[in-house]
Amino acid sequence: MHRADTPIRVLIADDETSARRRLLQFLADETDMVVVAECRDGRATCLAIEQLAPDLVFLDVEMPEYTGLQVLEKIGVGRMPATIFATAFDHYAVAAFDANAIDYLLKPFARPRFARAVAKARARLRSGDLAESHAELAGVLSRLACASNVSERILVRVGESQQLIKTADIMYVTAEKNYVRLHAKEEHYQVRETMVGMLERLEPALFRRIHRSHIVNLDHVRKILPWFGGDSLVMMSDGSRLTLSRNYRSALDDLV
């Protein structure tokens, strides 16, 4: 347990000067925290964690030498301090953080978001139980290890031939009994797949399931309008109207 009368020792690891400066500015108002080091690359970060044993580290996802996630692997999940990640929007990392309840700061971050992340880290440190934090970090690594399953292209049948289509060109997906229909910009393709299976093949930061029968590409969502019974109406770039079920509203929480 970290005693309340003992300062929380903080390490900042980020190769961007502006990001380090912002963290230093915000941390200056946290009277129970003291910055013990700043690092600009992953290798220096590993050394600082080993030598200084900070209580809390702000860890950039993309750094020279080692990425933030490689730092996590090299130090070992069970030996990591309390960790708050920072990212300029690494799609796979953000999805992994969300899935495992790991705190992260999406650059450029504002003070209220910083304050929430710090409050959560402080509470964990004061309780002395980092087991849950380590489990979350392990979940991040596990999910990212599976990210290679995400497809940039999908093979579909068109008549007697097969065709590769880019997943980024898919505007939305609808369920059709034992199949799914991929609605691309100019064509529709039927694929024998479940909605769950298709979602696993699509980039999680770009595609979200909004209904048991609908998956949407966020780049093609134009408006979300109130509808009936707690549901919403999603207006797509091609003029299609899809239902955002209240049961799937949490899929868009990180965008609000």
86-113 pLDDT, tens digit each: 887 666 567 667 766 678 888 888 999 9
Give the pLDDT of residue 169: 92
Can you give the CATH number for the domain in which 23 is found? 3.40.50.2300
In a domain, 183, yes or no: yes
Please say which residue of 90, 122, 147 terminates a domain.
147
- From CA 180, how far away is CA 105, in angstroms rounded? 35
In a domain, 3, yes or no: no
Helix axes 42-52, 68-75, angle to 10 degrees: 40
Beta-carbon contacts of residue 182 (< 8 Å; ≥ 6 apart): 154, 156, 165, 170, 173, 188, 189, 190, 191
Give the pLDDT of residue 220: 95
- Calculate the CA 66 to chain-centre distance: 19
Secondary structure of residue 125 in the 3-state scheme: helix
* 237 and 163 in a common domain: yes
Give the model confidence (pLDDT) of 186-228 as tens digits.
899 998 888 888 887 888 878 999 999 999 999 999 999 988 8
Give the pLDDT of residue 91: 61
Phi, psi dihedrals of residue 38, rounded to the nearest 5°? -125, 135
Can you give the CATH number for the domain in which 218 is found? 2.40.50.1020
In a domain, 1, yes or no: no
Number of domains the chain contains: 2
Report the DSSP pairing between strands 170-176 and 179-184: antiparallel
* 78 and 52 in a common domain: yes
Give the pLDDT of residue 252: 78
* 139 and 21 in a common domain: yes
124 vs 147, residue with greater confidence: 124
* 27 and 141 in a common domain: yes
Residue ranges making up the domain that contains 37: 8-147
Query: Cα separations (Å) of 8 from 21, 65, 239?
Result: 19, 27, 53
132 vs 221, residue with greater confidence: 221
* 21 and 116 in a common domain: yes
* 164 and 73 in a common domain: no
199 vs 1, residue with greater confidence: 199
* 134 and 44 in a common domain: yes
* 75 and 163 in a common domain: no
Among residues 194, 184, 176, which one has the least CA distance to residue 220?
184
* 19 and 113 in a common domain: yes
Helix (H), strand (E) at residue 144: helix 131-145
Model confidence, pTM: 0.57
- From CA 110, how far away is CA 123, in angstroms rounded? 21
- From CA 161, how far away is CA 43, in angstroms rounded? 50
* 226 and 100 in a common domain: no
Please say which residue of 130, 147, 164 terminates a domain.
147
In a domain, 66, yes or no: yes
* 176 and 80 in a common domain: no
Please say which residue of 147, 163, 186 terminates a domain.
147
* 29 and 14 in a common domain: yes
